[in-house]
């Protein structure tokens, strides 16, 4: 069989930085190809080249046996290439119909033909989700439905090549299953699908082929059948990875935080749990289970309406983040770029921000004390940087996360909350973050770790609290936790 | 049934906004009626509309820029400069007639708008900075063109002065211009590809780029059209008030932006409608014409429009919070 699309030795540099050196990829009609690779392996650059967002510096792109040069997003579309992006790339103030036909609105006598646009939208949506109406304003749809609108857009373009960039990142289990069913249908209709995901279960359940990228180069392609996940990981990282989590056994101390019957509006209710010194409490659940909302209550950024918080034996009221910080609670939020780090500030300024009170001399901030505080922390966490004055936005995701964690260490917290601490950071940095959590626990910090990654929760937590739809389903001890049990508690099954 | 719900849901936010504004305008008229019944006479209402027509026109242009996440602070300075130039043209060449005046006003306004557009598009300078600069440049250029002198009504030809005053069906030509422009902009925004792309570019610039829409070009186009409208208004303004001088319409851009905000145009781009803008401008127009009757100072008018703008922003903020997160399952009763 001949591939629809073939990339050979494709290269791309931004400034002096080589994002892609020799990208190789073959896409076959009627097959789903998984694109695998660590962050920074060149996957997104490859997608941008295929979809015409950026142009390759070198290499060959062959479509239907003939070489092409993809000049623009519009050109890519006219060649039958369509993409569904991770963060739905849609217009939430426009209607569903217009979102579907944004790239090619039907026209009559030179003006937009709304009735045809609505009718054709309804026809396409009927196959995907008849509950979505063409006239609905997109902002009112769920994340999963927005993905479907993007798929409808691809279908409206008669796309032969559909690229899905981590489409399940924000979906529940059931929504992901529905998306897979649709993906299989698109495949069986003869389309070539490129599926980017970090989740191996998905890759094995859905994909026919794989292509692995490492450091900007294609390092292997082949059929999924007959390959093991260990082999794929080895290809991705170039070395076998120690998949064992660096869980340390530390003595569990006295109860540091207890939460009783916390509730807030329609978000969660009757949430009770406790964490002890030196303990890591894992909080597992699907996206939308109310986990992050409870953490925001503990940190005061969205206080609970009912219930009680007891910190080290004392009932406390936490109405704001400054309350929480004053009481020794640190919070590493899920959205690193928006809530965690101040991207445009220097590393040093980021680290000392919540503990500026400790770096003053006679009431004025002391630059020297700030550096004395930030320097050792950044160093002990292994932040790869040119110096404390470097801006955080110039760091990789993993190093940004280390900076965010460092800033809480500067406050010497009694309780540290980490919300998806290793989301979107590469395997090496992940292990470092895990090791760091272990060290903190050994120092007696009570740690709450929210995570959607089952291996991480099972590997790191002493106890696992499972939430579903705003309620605590169970708190399971490490010895009794099995993947099946945790997933069953978290899902409707 | 589902069809019906979808239909209501689709434009609900906008439509309730416009219905509310319409209600507010009517309420204002009802409140005025007992004290000054004459205010509601058709002749007077036509007068109020005539007095608001320039605000409506400029707000239509400003809306296009706001839709693309920009803002045009130079719109009134453009008007003043273009108005002065066409007034001078008419003063020194009164025999040329009206056609060159109209053509020049639109072309020159468009050119001044294009300067803004090009700076925003090619140099990627934020539009508030660009137009803050061109606002002063255009205003200064009025002085350079006129040497600081006024062009008075006795220096204007009858044709130059007559057009805006000519009435058809009890409504002035100036009002008709605003009505026709509003209709054209409405059709442009609803039915043309460029018009739809303005919404897309402002609503989500990143997504627009991925959809092959050049956001910079959209902003440039919005500034160009806004400039052309401002230029036309330059002639209309000078002709209606029968005078051209350096400070014509000084500070008027703030009223124009106010009309847009009251009319539901989002400062953060992508949201706005012609109906809303017209109603927003009329609201300010009614207040401006009614308050002096009650003996209220013009400064109080500013306070009233300020309160309404703040109120509009508050309503917007509440509207977006209404779609709060729902996680808990609804339990059987």
pLDDT, tens digit (0-9, with 9 covering 90-100), for B94-123: 988 899 999 999 999 999 999 999 999 999
Is B328's CB within 8 Å of A267's CB?
Answer: yes
pLDDT at B330: 40
State how far the Cα of A316 lies from the Cα of A348, in Å rounded to an integer: 31
pLDDT given at position A161: 94
- B185/chain A closest Cα distance in angstroms: 13
Is the pLDDT higher at A184 or at A266?
Answer: A184
A115 Cβ under 8 Å from any chain B Cβ: no
And the tokens for B154?
Answer: 């006795």
Q: What is the pLDDT of residue B301?
A: 74
Question: Cα–Cα distance between B251 and A26 in angstroms, integer?
Answer: 61
CB contact under 8 A, A111 and B191: yes
Could B324 and A469 be called an inter-chain contact, meaning their C-beta atoms sit closer than 8 Å?
no
Mark yes or no for CB contact B196/A112 under 8 Å: yes
A285–chain B Cβ distance below 8 A for any pair: no
The pLDDT score that the predictor gives to residue B171 is 92
Q: Please provide the average confidence, as pLDDT, over all residues in chain A.
A: 87
CB B127 within 8 A of CB B135: no
Cross-chain CB nearest to A89 (options B187, B193, B207)? B207
Which helix H or strand E contains A231, and what residues bound it? Answer: helix A229-237
Which regions in chain B score pLDDT beneath 70?
Answer: 1-15, 316-333
What would the pLDDT profile of A47-97 be if each residue is shown by its tens digit?
989 998 889 988 899 999 899 999 888 899 889 999 888 666 789 889 999
In this prediction, residue B7 carries a pLDDT of: 39
Give tens-digit pLDDT for A307-360. 999 999 999 999 999 899 999 999 998 877 777 788 888 888 888 888 777 777
Higher pLDDT, A259 or B19: A259
Write out pLDDT tens, residues A15-58: 666 778 888 899 999 999 999 887 667 888 899 899 988 899 88
pLDDT of residue A232: 83
Q: Does A268 touch chain B (CB under 8 A)?
A: yes
Handedness of CA A193, A194, A196, A199 (dihedral sign): positive
- Name the phi and psi angles at A39, rounded to 5: -60, 135
pLDDT tops 70 at residue A400: yes
| Number of alpha carbons in the 13 Å side-chain half-sphere of residue A190 | 5
Nearest-CB residue to B325 (from A93, A102, A267): A267
Contact residues for B111 (Cβ-Cβ < 8 A; gap 6+): B227
Q: Quick one: what percent of chain A has pLDDT higher than 90?
A: 39
Give residue A251's pLDDT band: very low, low, confident or very high (50, 70, 90).
confident
At A488, list the tokens.
């069953």
> Greater confidence, A306 or A215?
A306
pTM metric for this prediction: 0.74
* C-alpha–C-alpha distance, residues B313 and A117, integer Å: 33
Interfacial B residues in 143-202 facing A (CB < 8 Å): 187, 190-193, 196, 199-200
């Amino acid at each position: 069989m001949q591939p629809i699309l073939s990339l050979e030795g494709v290269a791309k540099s931004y400034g002096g930085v080589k994002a892609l050196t020799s990208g190789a990829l073959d896409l076959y009609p009627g097959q789903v190809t998984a694109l695998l690779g660590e962050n920074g392996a060149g996957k997104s650059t490859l997608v941008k080249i295929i979809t015409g967002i950026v142009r390759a510096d070198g290499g060959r792109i062959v479509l239907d046996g003939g070489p092409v040069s993809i000049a623009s997003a519009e050109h890519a579309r006219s060649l039958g290439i369509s993409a569904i992006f991770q963060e739905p790339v849609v217009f939430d103030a426009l209607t569903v119909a217009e979102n579907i036909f944004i790239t090619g609105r039907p026209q009559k006598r030179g003006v937009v033909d709304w009735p045809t646009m609505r009718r054709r939208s309804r026809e396409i949506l009927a196959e995907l989700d008849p509950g979505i109406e063409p006239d609905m304003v997109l902002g009112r749809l769920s994340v999963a439905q927005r993905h479907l609108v993007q798929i409808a857009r691809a279908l409206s373009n008669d796309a032969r090549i559909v690229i899905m960039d981590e489409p399940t990142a924000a979906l529940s289990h059931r929504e992901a299953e529905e998306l897979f069913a649709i993906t299989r249908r698109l495949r069986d209709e003869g389309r070539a699908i490129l599926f980017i995901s970090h989740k191996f279960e998905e890759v094995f359940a859905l994909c026919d082929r794989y292509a692995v990228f490492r450091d900007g180069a294609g390092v292997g392609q082949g059929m999924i059948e007959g390959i093991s996940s260990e082999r794929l990981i080895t290809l991705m990282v170039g070395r076998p990875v120690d998949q064992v989590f660096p869980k340390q056994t530390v003595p569990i101390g006295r109860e540091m935080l207890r939460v009783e019957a916390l509730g807030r509006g329609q978000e969660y209710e009757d949430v009770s749990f406790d964490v002890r010194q030196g303990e890591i409490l894992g909080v597992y659940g699907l996206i939308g289970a109310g986990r992050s909302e409870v953490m925001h209550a503990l940190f005061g950024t969205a206080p609970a309406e009912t219930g009680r918080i007891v910190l080290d034996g004392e009932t406390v009221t936490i109405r704001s983040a400054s309350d929480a910080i004053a009481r020794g609670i640190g919070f590493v939020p899920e959205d690193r770029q928006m809530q965690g780090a101040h991207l445009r500030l220097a590393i040093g300024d980021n680290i000392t921000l919540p503990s500026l009170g400790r770096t003053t001399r006679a009431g004025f901030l002391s630059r020297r004390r700030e550096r004395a505080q930030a320097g050792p922390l950044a160093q002990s966490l292994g932040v790869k940087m040119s110096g404390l004055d470097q801006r955080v936005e110039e760091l990789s995701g993993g190093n940004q996360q280390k900076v965010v964690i460092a800033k809480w260490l500067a406050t010497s917290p009694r309780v540290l909350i980490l919300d998806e601490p290793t989301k979107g950071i590469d395997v090496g940095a992940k292990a470092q973050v895990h090791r760091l959590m272990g060290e903190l626990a050994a120092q007696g910090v009570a740690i709450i770790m929210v995570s959607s990654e089952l291996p991480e929760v099972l590997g790191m937590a002493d106890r696992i609290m499972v939430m579903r739809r705003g309620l605590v389903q169970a708190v399971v001890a490490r010895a009794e936790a099995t993947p099946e049990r945790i997933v069953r508690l978290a899902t409707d099954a | 049934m589902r069809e019906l719900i979808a239909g209501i849901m689709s434009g609900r936010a906008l439509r309730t906004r416009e219905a509310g504004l319409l209600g507010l305008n009517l309420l204002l008229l009802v409140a005025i009626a007992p004290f000054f019944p004459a205010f509601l006479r058709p002749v007077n209402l036509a007068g109020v509309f005539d007095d608001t027509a320039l605000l409506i026109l400029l707000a239509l242009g400003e809306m296009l820029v706001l839709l693309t996440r920009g803002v045009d602070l130079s719109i009134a300075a453009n008007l003043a400069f273009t108005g002065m130039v066409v007034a001078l043209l008419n003063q020194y060449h009164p025999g040329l007639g009206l056609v060159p005046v109209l053509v020049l006003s639109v072309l020159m306004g468009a050119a001044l708008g294009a300067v803004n557009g090009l700076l925003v598009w090619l140099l990627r300078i934020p539009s508030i900075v660009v137009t803050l600069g061109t606002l002063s440049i255009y205003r200064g250029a009025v002085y350079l063109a006129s040497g600081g002198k006024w062009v008075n009504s006795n220096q204007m030809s009858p044709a130059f002065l007559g057009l805006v005053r000519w009435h058809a069906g009890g409504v002035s030509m100036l009002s008709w211009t605003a009505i026709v422009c509003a209709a054209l902009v409405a059709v442009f925004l609803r039915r043309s590809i460029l018009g739809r792309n303005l919404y897309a570019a402002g609503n989500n610039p990143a997504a627009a780029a991925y959809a092959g829409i050049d956001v910079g070009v959209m902003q440039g186009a919005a500034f160009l059209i806004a400039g052309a409208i401002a230029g036309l208004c330059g002639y209309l303004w000078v002709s209606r008030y029968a005078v051209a001088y350096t400070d014509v319409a000084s500070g008027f851009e703030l009223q124009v932006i106010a009309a847009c905000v009251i009319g539901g145009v989002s400062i953060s781009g992508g949201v706005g409608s012609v109906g809303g803008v017209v109603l927003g401008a009329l609201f300010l127009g009614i207040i401006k014409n009614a308050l002096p009757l009650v003996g209220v100072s013009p400064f109080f008018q500013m306070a009233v429009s300020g309160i309404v703008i703040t109120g509009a922003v508050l309503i917007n903020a509440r509207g977006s919070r209404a779609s709060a997160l729902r996680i808990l399952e609804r339990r059987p009763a």
